[in-house]
Amino acid sequence: MNNGKNLKAVAYGEVLWDVFANEKKIGGAPLNVALRMKTLGCEVAMISCVGNDEDGRAIKEQVKQLGLETDTIVVSEDFPTGLVNVTLNERGSATYEISYPSAWDKIELNELAKATVKAADVLIYGSLVCRDDVSRKALEELLQNDVYKVFDVNLRKPHYTYEILNQLMLSADFVKFNDEELLEITATMNSPFTSLEDNMRFIAEKNKVRAMCVTKGKHGALLMWEGELYQNGGYPVKVSDTVGAGDSFLAALITSLLTDKTPQEAIDFACAVGALVAESPGANPEISHSRIENLVGKVKI
């Protein structure tokens, strides 16, 4: 699959182990986005930090094997590699218990990281990494660069404040919410609206965000792009777990929008990718191009 063409992407933030009942898998929203963008043909670097421990070496090893630049992942002598306990409910929805402090809370930028962002087309970041001042300040430095900035809101209680979320939105060219996140954030901004569409317009107006998307679980997603709204009603799949589905959705959407797809094609493609990730266990299952094409070809709900 190669629709990423020569898009150069950098993801900034947490890399960690998602610890499920019977196994552990690499995760962290920005890493999940990065890995999916790589499978879509982008050139991708991951900026993060791991501990000087077995868990850290194993993450770097795996991520390198999957084709990402990992010399931008620094090693901390003082903090351990991140771990997250993932609990799934009967519908496959996850709750996360995220250890603190983790090495990724203390990201220090090396020269390669700075140079890589300078040369990149797109920078993806989320809110979780901003729970600690060290990683938040490093992100602020990267956000000074002239690069297309994608903010993956990714609210993980209790690791965020509205003040920081607001700053992160103001820096972004593109923002990704899920439906609950959009409604929670717009409520704190005293939005008088109840529908997702009205709240998208509200936030666009208030925060001068010109492009955004909102995922709606099995009901698909909405996209605001160049002033127009696009939607996809979702694809029927049997959900295994939803971990990382939104991350892969975002990877597919951004890759498509910034290369050669129309906004409608981009959201259809992204919804299919997200659905297929939800159908398989963990955040980073392999998904073949033919399965995506097959699903896109199916009638939407």
Ligand X SMILES: OC[C@H]1O[C@](O)(CO)[C@@H](O)[C@@H]1O
CA triple 12-16-20, angle to 5 deg: 140
Give whichever of 16 and 253 is closer to ligand X, judged by the CB atom: 16
Give whichever of 18 and 263 is closer to ligand X, judged by the CB atom: 18
Give whichever of 29 and 263 is closer to ligand X, judged by the CB atom: 29
Residue 245 CB, shortest distance to ligand X, in Å, is: 8
Say if residues 271 and 234 touch (Cβ distance below 8 Å): yes
Q: Which residues bind ligand X (CB under 6 A)?
A: 14, 16, 18, 27-29, 32, 84, 96, 128, 156, 243-244, 247, 283
Give whichever of 57 and 156 is closer to ligand X, judged by the CB atom: 156
Residue 251 CB, shortest distance to ligand X, in Å, is: 12
Residue 34 CB, shortest distance to ligand X, in Å, is: 11
Report the distance separating Cα 171 and Cα 166, nearest Å.
9
Residue 89 CB, shortest distance to ligand X, in Å, is: 15
Q: Which residue minimizes CB distance to ligand X?
A: 27
Residue 118 CB, shortest distance to ligand X, in Å, is: 25
Gap between the terminal Cα atoms of the chain? 26
Q: Which pairs from 5-8 meet CB under 8 Å and 24+ separation?
A: 5/41, 5/259, 5/260, 6/43, 7/37, 7/41, 7/42, 7/43, 7/121, 7/122, 7/255, 7/258, 7/259, 8/42, 8/43, 8/44, 8/119, 8/120, 8/121, 8/122
Q: What is the dihedral angle through the alpha carbons of 85, 25, 237, 29, rounded to the nearest 10 degrees? A: 70
Give whichever of 152 and 261 is closer to ligand X, judged by the CB atom: 152
Distances (CA, A) of 26 to 60, 80, 93, 132, 209: 10, 15, 18, 21, 31
Distance from the Cα of residue 42 to its chain's centroid: 15
Give whichever of 168 and 243 is closer to ligand X, judged by the CB atom: 243
Residue 140 CB, shortest distance to ligand X, in Å, is: 20
